[in-house]
Amino acid sequence: MTATLAPSGSSVALDWRRALLWGGICALSLVSVSLIGLPVGMNKRILIEPVLSLGYLCLLWIPLVFGYVATTVVVLEGVEARKSGTADLLAGLTAGLMGGIGLTLLMVGLDTVNIRKPLVNWSPQLFRLLTFERGLEFGIPVWLGICAGLGLVGAVLHQLPAVARRVMSWVLFGVMAIAILEAVIDDLAEGFHLEWLTDAMYYKKGGTEGLTVTSAVVLALVLAALPVVTGGRVKAAVDHYRDAPSEDRRRTSLVLFGAIGVACVGLPMILGGIVNELLANVGLFLLLALGLNIVVGLAGLLDLGYVAFFAVGGYTTSVLTSSNSPFFAPEWHFGIALLFVVVMAATAGLVIGAPVIRMRGDYLAIVTLGFGEIVRLLFLSDWLKPYFGGSQGITKVNPVELGPFKVQGSDPRSVFYLVLVFCALAIYVSWRLQGSRLGRAWMATREDEQVAEAMGINTVNAKLMAFVVGATMAAFSGAVLAAKVGSVFPKSFEILVSIIILVVVIVGGMGNIAGVMVGSLVLIGILGGPRQPGLLQEFQSYKLLIYGALLVFMMLKRPEGLVPSARRSRELHQDEYLQDAWLGDDAESEEDQGAPS
């Protein structure tokens, strides 16, 4: 990035290459977002009646962000930051304008040629949407203007003081989030008896109709006032926590976990059905992710067939508790079935683990990937159809009865509580094992298997135990799934589940329990699981695209995950860590050694 090192003062020197590059990417993003059908598909969903729909929002954020990114100045320590000036505004304008040109070309193309055959979304609807139903001569100048303007705004953001920038993005993000999450907020408001508030806020003419212009403005003002009220106290608290000595931090963490626990027990009472359903799904996947975190995060075994254990848990429960199981239907109680779930999961862990355990890295990943599919195909096969029902699966799984409580899918709150118990158990187990002899053996095996062996660790046993513990957690999740849905089908155990759990673990923060919790809350809660809807129900069909984009973004920008474990962030930022460590060491090492060591 040569631009960042240009001598200060030459404020008109515009780095054309960079501006054009980002402009090009901006144009490509706009065109591809249009062509995958986001704007047309989301146009019905009004965010602010009558000015903004979700479809247009999908386009509008692009030039803004690229205008911002194209003019970002990398500040190097010790080097005077380049003053941003007119050149930056010009760069932002260029990036935005190029986006507009991209859309113009798309509109002209839509008007003149018809290539709807390969590109399904090359449609008249898209043309009408882009031209605001007023033809090319209206659409082209408007989009050029909007894009260039937003690019310019993006660039101007750099000129503003940091506080203003933060407040603006907070307000923008907040208003949009409130608009998009209308259904959920409605649901929440019911629980808290705040219907009058949502009635005032939203336009509401049957269904989700978005905010009114007035309420959007009022909301923006309220949100802008919030930071003034809190006065940076939130940030101060976070900083305080981060800088606290490890002993204090441990205590704070415990308090935090306790608070989360209390919230988990209390909140579902007042939350509505939608949110409880979401939380139950988050819990199901958290349970899976915690197990995978032990296998991948601690023991370093990249298991891509993790869904197999999920399936084993689901089918074991179904066979033992369903009245409709084709071969053997003892209709036991869920609690008794659980014992067998543990046994079956451990057996499956050993059976799948034993042959693959000597493999390393990529080979292990490929072989486990195969095993994951094999298990699903076995359940699907005609050969085992008499036992597991083939593609029809097993239905009529009895609801879990615990005294007066009955856990079944139609009551998401009860499912949530059931899953909460398992999650709490899994979190406790992960936490305790991490700091135990076994946890250290797993870490050593991950670091250097050969050396671990030479240091007296039976790595085969250690790895098998990781497999078994991970398998058991996944199987519990499968058991709850069976009870929740009331049936199991091979279709619920596709390879995609394995991959999404892995993404949850990676994005959340590998090797860190809190990270995995945040990961499943963010990904499963907001985007949704492989077959479960999340908060953003509108984006259901684009979920995998977003997952992929998010994974790429995280790998580039924050490979250690949202809430990284200290160990892993050190590992990925070794250089910086070493600098700090050695700077701190210098003075002391000279006096105690007399020579550099």
Which residues in this chain contact other proteins in the complex, by CB under 8 A?
Answer: 428-429, 432-433, 435-441, 443-444, 447-448, 450-459, 567-568, 570-571, 574, 577-578, 581-582, 589, 592-597
Closest CB 342 distance from other proteins, rounded Å:
12
Whichever of 260 and 581 has its CB closer to other proteins, that residue is: 581
- Tell whether omega for the bond before 50 is within 30 degrees of 0, i.e. cis: yes
Closest CB 427 distance from other proteins, rounded Å:
12
Closest CA to 496 of 535, 544, 550: 544
DSSP string of 312-376? HHHHHHHHHHBS--SS------HHHHHHHHHHHHHHHHHHHHHHHTT--HHHHHHHHHHHHHHHH
Q: How far apart are CA 253 and CA 310, in angstroms?
A: 30
Closest CB 530 distance from other proteins, rounded Å:
31
Whichever of 363 and 428 has its CB closer to other proteins, that residue is: 428
Tokens of 429: 């187990």
Closest CB 244 distance from other proteins, rounded Å:
15
Whichever of 133 and 447 has its CB closer to other proteins, that residue is: 447
Whichever of 210 and 561 has its CB closer to other proteins, that residue is: 561
The answer for residues whose C-beta is within 8 angstroms of residue 233's C-beta and 6 or more apart is none
Closest CB 114 distance from other proteins, rounded Å:
57
Closest CB 39 distance from other proteins, rounded Å:
46
Burial-class residue 454 by CB neighbours within 10 Å (0-12, 13-18, 19+).
Answer: exposed
Closest CB 563 distance from other proteins, rounded Å:
18
Whichever of 494 and 571 has its CB closer to other proteins, that residue is: 571
Q: How far apart are CA 472 and CA 349, in angstroms?
A: 8
Tokens of 542: 């684009």
Whichever of 2 and 450 has its CB closer to other proteins, that residue is: 450
Give the three-class secondary structure for 532.
Answer: coil
Q: How far apart are CA 17 and CA 34, in angstroms?
A: 26
Are 19 and 70 in contact by the 8 Å Cβ rule? The answer is yes
Whichever of 154 and 511 has its CB closer to other proteins, that residue is: 511
Whichever of 181 and 429 has its CB closer to other proteins, that residue is: 429
Q: How far apart are CA 67 and CA 94, in angstroms?
A: 8
Whichever of 197 and 578 has its CB closer to other proteins, that residue is: 578
Closest CA to 67 of 148, 146, 143: 148
Closest CB 475 distance from other proteins, rounded Å:
16
Closest CB 567 distance from other proteins, rounded Å:
5
Cβ atoms within 10 Å, residue 374: 14
Q: How far apart are CA 178 and CA 201, in angstroms?
A: 10
Whichever of 229 and 583 has its CB closer to other proteins, that residue is: 583
Distances (CA, A) of 42 to 52, 55, 367, 387, 518: 11, 4, 40, 44, 28
Closest CB 455 distance from other proteins, rounded Å:
5
